[in-house]
Structure 1
Amino acid sequence: MQKQNHSHFKPERSWCLVISLVGLLGGALFISLFLRTSNNLIGCNNNKLAQEKFLVDNPQQLLLDAILHYATSRVIPQQNINEIRISFDVLKNRTPCNFLVFGLGHDSQMWASFNSRGNTLFLEEDPKWVETILKDAPFVHAETVKYRTMLSEADELVEHFHKEPDCSAKKSFIRGNHGCKLALDMLSDEVYNKEWDLIMIDAPRGYFAEAPGRMAAIYSAAVMARNRKGKGVTHVFLHDVERKVEKIYAELFLCRKYLVKGVGRLWHFEIPAASNVGNSFC
């Protein structure tokens, strides 16, 4: 995800990307309207906030807002159009679905609009950044996450994984898993109680030693995918795979054999449930 202090205007690619995004969003709007006509709606829990109910009843509004946002913004998404299209093509076939995104940024409105009839949740490490993004996109659903890792610990955490029984693929749990440092054990019930059809890992920060790094996000995404009870696979998208830690942890937990596509700095994995593959991650 693209944070404010790292985003900047790039005129040489801005208009091309904006036009492409508007085209993708227009396609998503058509799909949304088709699904509405077909009465393929998601039920709305009576306890949901009024804003969430509004989006369920008017999903095309989110799409129109996203089109307006990207058509008039000087800030462009971090992923390029070829990387975005990989996730878009999956969402196009799976929506409405449960879509979990690690990271919040200027592209969040785009991801939410692609799944306008589904449930899209963003997990972000910086509470102030959440406030900044939600000022312009109040209908985006985001939660803050406290990570207990640092990028400088990446090698040590690999050793910890091999030695700590609670990290084992045989146990494979994250809720309340205080023994495994790679398990995101303090997320909301919403994260734990849903089966996520798609998981995008584009955060937390992982480019300086004191940053949380994406080790725990990658491990926890793999555990969520392995614990799937529903039909089919879990689609996991990992960005910034040119970096050492992302690549090592992807091959350790997401597995090269489940890698189905890679474009630019993005890898797409289709991970089956543990019941179909046994007691090891890879």
Structure 2
Amino acid sequence: MPPEVPHCRPLVTPLVQFSPPQNLPIDYKYCRGRKRMNITIKKLLPVLVLILSSFSIIRFLFITFTTSSSSTRLPTFSTIFQHIPSHEPGGSSTNHPKASANAITEKEFQLLSNLVAQKSPCNLLIFGLEPKYLHLSQINAGGTTIFLEDDISKLSTIKANSNSTRAYKVEYQMPGKEAYKLLKHVRQNPACEPSSGPLQASKCRLTLTNLPQEVYQQKWDVIVVDGPSGDAPEAAGRMATIYTASIIARAGNTTYVAIHDVHRMIEKWFSWELLCDENLISSKGKLWIFRIKGQLNSTTFCSARPVVIE
């Protein structure tokens, strides 16, 4: 029968020799660390069991709490934002219609408002009624501001004042899909020249002859073209408003004409053709501002034609 071997680490020759204490059994000499380790583990075992049990209880309580909480539906982003009012300068947030995707930006509006502030008090004519434009009439305190708008719902947002601010309902008949033909018509028809005579009696197809009389009679300092919407081929385009603005501007001494949405083909082409690149003085984003000097006796709009259309 083989001899019993103590359950301890095999003897390894140490790098430095020590003399073991005398009169001690061999298994006590080399296995006393194991006995102490066994004693330590036995003492720690109940503590470990208690910690694991506590962790299990805490985890169970956490799962129960989160499950019951998730049963209550939280509000979505859309629900929260429905109760946040929008604010526009110079007016009540509850009365403004929803801004369109092509609405003037803050930087564009800052450029335009700076122009009006420099000229105020002045005569300000605006084709289109966006919420921010109501603030322009406040900047132009002491002057005259007239809005021309084809959307009746937008006209309800403004309170007319016979002394300074007025708004008129107008009609536009020319769809955007006819822009190409109308641009050729302007070039080929002498009735569309700046020297062709009063707008009310004009034979040019692009002339707006149904505007309020004071629009034709007044000398305008600033004209803004941001209407009609012109956002679809079938919708009314801005060919007539840009043409009419260019003729009205040439009837004054010096008139500043601002055209919005010049990233679109119609606004860009008709601005180049009727207001001229040589008159462009500033721009920001989709807004161009032209300075037009009075020249009703001229037979042409620009010194050079920018685009050739056959």
TM-score, normalized by length of structure 1? 0.69
**Residue 234 of structure 2 corresponds to which residue in structure 1?**
210
**Residue 199 of structure 2 corresponds to which residue in structure 1?**
174
- Report the alpha carbon displacement of residue 94 of structure 1 after superposing the two structures with TM: 1.0
**Residue 262 of structure 1 corresponds to which residue in structure 2?**
283
Deviations 1:42-84 (A, max 9, x none): xxxxxxxxxxxxxxxxxxxxxxxx2x63699896692122111
The aligned length equals: 215
SS of 2:194's partner is: coil
User: In the aligned structure 2, how far is the partner of 1:112 from the partner of 1:188?
Assistant: 19
1:165–1:117 CA distance, 2 compared to 1 (3 A) = same
- Report the alpha carbon displacement of residue 107 of structure 1 after superposing the two structures with TM: 2.0
Q: Answer yes or no: is the 8 Å Cα contact 1:222–1:254 preserved in 2.
A: yes
Q: Answer yes or no: is the 8 Å Cα contact 2:96–2:131 preserved in 1.
A: no
What are the equivalent positions in structure 2 for 1:118-197 lying under 5 Å apart? Answer: 118-131=143-156, 133-134=157-158, 137-139=159-161, 140-171=165-196, 173-177=198-202, 179-197=203-221
**Residue 112 of structure 1 corresponds to which residue in structure 2?**
137
1:72–1:173 CA distance, 2 compared to 1 (3 A) = closer
Flag structure 1 segments of 5+ consecutive residues without an equivalent. 1-10, 23-65
Structure number with the higher helix fraction is 1
User: In the aligned structure 2, how far is the partner of 1:221 from the partner of 1:116?
Assistant: 23
**Residue 249 of structure 1 corresponds to which residue in structure 2?**
270
Question: Counterpart amino acid of 1:202?
Answer: D
Q: Give the aligned CA root-mean-square deviation in angstroms.
A: 2.7
TM-score, normalized by length of structure 2? 0.63
Deviations 1:78-130 (A, max 9, x none): 21221112121221121111000001132232121111211000001123432
Aligned residue among 93, 109, 128 for 1:84? 109
1:85–1:171 CA distance, 2 compared to 1 (3 A) = same
Find the structure with the greater CA-based Rg.
Answer: 2
Q: Answer yes or no: is the 8 Å Cα contact 2:176–2:237 preserved in 1.
A: yes
User: In the aligned structure 2, how far is the partner of 1:72 from the partner of 1:149?
Assistant: 30
Higher relative contact order (CA 8 A, sep 6+): 1
**Residue 32 of structure 2 corresponds to which residue in structure 1?**
none
Flag structure 2 segments of 5+ consecutive residues without an equivalent. 1-80, 303-310
The sequence identity of aligned pairs, in percent, is 31
Question: Counterpart amino acid of 1:102?
Answer: F
User: In the aligned structure 2, how far is the partner of 1:129 from the partner of 1:86?
Assistant: 23
Deviations 1:1-58 (A, max 9, x none): xxxxxxxxxx9xx99x96xx75xxxxxxxxxxxxxxxxxxxxxxxxxxxxxxxxxxxx
1:281 aligns with 2:301: yes
SS of 1:274's partner is: coil
1:271–1:172 CA distance, 2 compared to 1 (3 A) = farther
1:95 aligns with 2:120: yes
- Report the alpha carbon displacement of residue 173 of structure 1 after superposing the two structures with TM: 3.6
Deviations 1:155-191 (A, max 9, x none): 01012112322112331542122x2111111111111
